[in-house]
Every structure is written in C-alpha cells, then in structure tokens.
Amino acid sequence: MTLTRRIVLTSGKGGVGKTTVTANLGAQLSRMGYRVLVCDTDIGLNNVDVVMGVEHLIVYDIVDAIEGRCRPKQALVQHTYFKNLYILSSNHSMPDRYISPQAVKLIIDALAPQFDFVLIDCPAGIEDGFHRAVSSAEEALIVTTPHMSSLRDADKVISVLQSYRLANINLVINMARGDMMMNGDILSPREICDILKIPLIGMIPEDDSIFLNDMSGENNRAFRLLASNIIEGRHKIYDVTKKYSGIFGSIRRSLKKSL
C-alpha cells in the first residue's frame, strides 16, 4: 500500500494563483505516473473544475457525497487528457450550505487510499473554508506572489498553520517576473524567504499564456521542477531571471521595460 500525501495549497489572499498552481501541479504529477486527486474545498465558489476544463462532466459534487446523495467515488471526475488525474469539485447546487471540516475529512479519508497525492485547493481567507481545507491535509504549500500585500497574508496564514501540526510547510512563489527581479523592482526569493521563514520549493514565472494543456513553455518547466521537488524532497528552484541575463537577456529586459 502506498502512503498518500495530502497537501493543501493556501495563501490567505485570493487571486495569487492557488487554483492555477493546484491544477498545474496536479497535471504534472499525473504525467509522471502518480495518481492524483484535486479537491476543491471552496464551497459555493467552485472553479477548479473550470480551470481544469471538466465542468461539463460533473454529475455529483462534494456536498452530494457528504449528504449521501452519492458515494464519494461517484463524485470524482476523471480528467479528459490526464488519465491519472481526478477532480472532486465543490458544490454547484447549494451555495450557502454549511459544511464542517469533519465532513470534508470523512470524504477525503474515503478517497485518499486510491491516490498517491491529494491536492486540496483552499479558498481565500482564514475562516471556515480555510479550516475545512487544512483539516484534511498533512502538508501545506503556501502560494504567494512577490508583492508585499500577498506576503503579509501568507505570513498570517503561516502563523495560523502552526496550530495544525502539519508535517511540512513549503513556499511557492507565483507570478515571478524575472526582468523585474533582476532590476530590483520586486523582492528576490531570498528576501521573501527571509520574511516568511519557510523553505522555498518552487517558483513559477508570470506568463500570460498559462493554461493546463500547454506542454511547452517556461511555466511547464517550472511546474515540472516543482513536482519533482515535492516527490524527491529537493529544493531546486526554477531560475526566472535566466532568460534576462547575458547580452540577449538585457535586450529582452529593456524591450519588456519599454512595453
């Protein structure tokens, strides 16, 4: 029997890329042959299914499973392209229903043994929804952007997480602009880690063409590195500044600046 790793992706602040990182990390892990379940615990504000392009396939959701209208397994949707990737969507039918953390955990406990990874996409804030998502997890990935407002919320989340006894808490910096980092316009990874005091495990460049089935490109490489770091317990970080160094890089940088 394999030991399932249950990882919550959280940030405090909304719009920093939790759902994007959850979906892409899930896709990468499944491409590597792992069985992955992505759970959307943002009850009333589902979007994992939309980002993953499976919203038209959903028959039952997590609330149906909790309230006994279906078995937990029936609420899973297999991704159309990544066959090892399954989605447990949040509810569509009853947006205001209160769902307890214990109820979510029962469903995840029932499903987890069939998977190598359970990735839990957490809603913004540190209220009910946060508690619901984190209670089913054993590890956490904090997603932040290199901006102060996002770091402040990440810091708050990290201190709240101390009471959950998680096995490990790692940091993913999303929407990193290599050119701005080189120019000193945004905080460097070192500065960010000095502030948050948790280990960096991934860095994802800002990329307007970020979408799930894009098999080429920088983001794909960055997500692949994040996935193998998680598997192997390494901390090799994708260098977002690389394409801006050297002679061609500095041309690229000044072109980007003049945009």
Ligand X SMILES: Nc1ncnc2c1ncn2[C@@H]1O[C@H](COP(=O)(O)OP(=O)(O)O)[C@@H](O)[C@H]1O
* Integer Cα distance of 152 and 159 in angstroms: 11
Instruction: Judge contact between 62 and 43, C-beta under 8 A.
Output: yes
Binding test (CB under 5 A) with Mg ion, winner from 4, 10, 11, 19: 19
By CB under 5 A, is residue 10 in contact with Mg ion? no
Helix (H, G, I), strand (E, B) or coil at 139: strand
Which amino acid is located at 51 in the chain? V
Give the span between the Cα atoms of 144 and 150, in whole angstroms.
6
Per CB under 6 A, 224 contacts ligand X = no
Residue 204's binding partner out of Mg ion, ligand X, none, with CB under 5 to 8 Å set by partner kind: ligand X
Q: Which partner from the list Mg ion, ligand X, none does 15 bind, CB cut-off 5 to 8 Å by kind?
A: ligand X
Task: Tell me which residue has tokens 């940088």.
Answer: 253
Nearest to 123 by CA among 243, 241, 236, 12: 12
Helix (H) / strand (E) containing 202? strand 200-205
Secondary structure class of 160 (helix, strand, coil):
helix
Residue in 4, 10, 11, 229 binding ligand X, rule: CB under 6 A: 11
For ligand X (CB under 6 A), the number of binding residues is: 15
Contact pick of 6, 8, 10, 16 for ligand X (by CB under 6 A): 16
Residue 138 interacting with ligand X (CB under 6 A) = no
Least distance from C-beta 2 to ligand X, angstroms? 28
CB of 110 to ligand X, least distance (A): 25
Show the binding pattern over residues 104-123: x = contacts ligand X (CB under 6 A), - = does not: --------------------
| Residue closest to 172 by CA, chosen among 6, 5, 4, 19 | 19
Judged by CB under 5 A, the stretch of 18-26, 61-69, 196-204, 220-228 that binds Mg ion is: 18-26
Least Å distance between CB 115 and Mg ion? 21
CA quadruple 204, 209, 210, 212: dihedral sign: negative
Binding string to ligand X for residues 162 to 181, with x set by CB under 6 A, is what? ------------xx------
Footprint on residues 47-76 left by ligand X (CB under 6 A): none
86 DSSP β-pair partners = 37, 78
- Member of 36, 63, 140, 210 binding ligand X (CB under 6 A): 210
The tokens for 189 are 């990874």
Give the binding site for Mg ion (CB under 5 A). 18-19
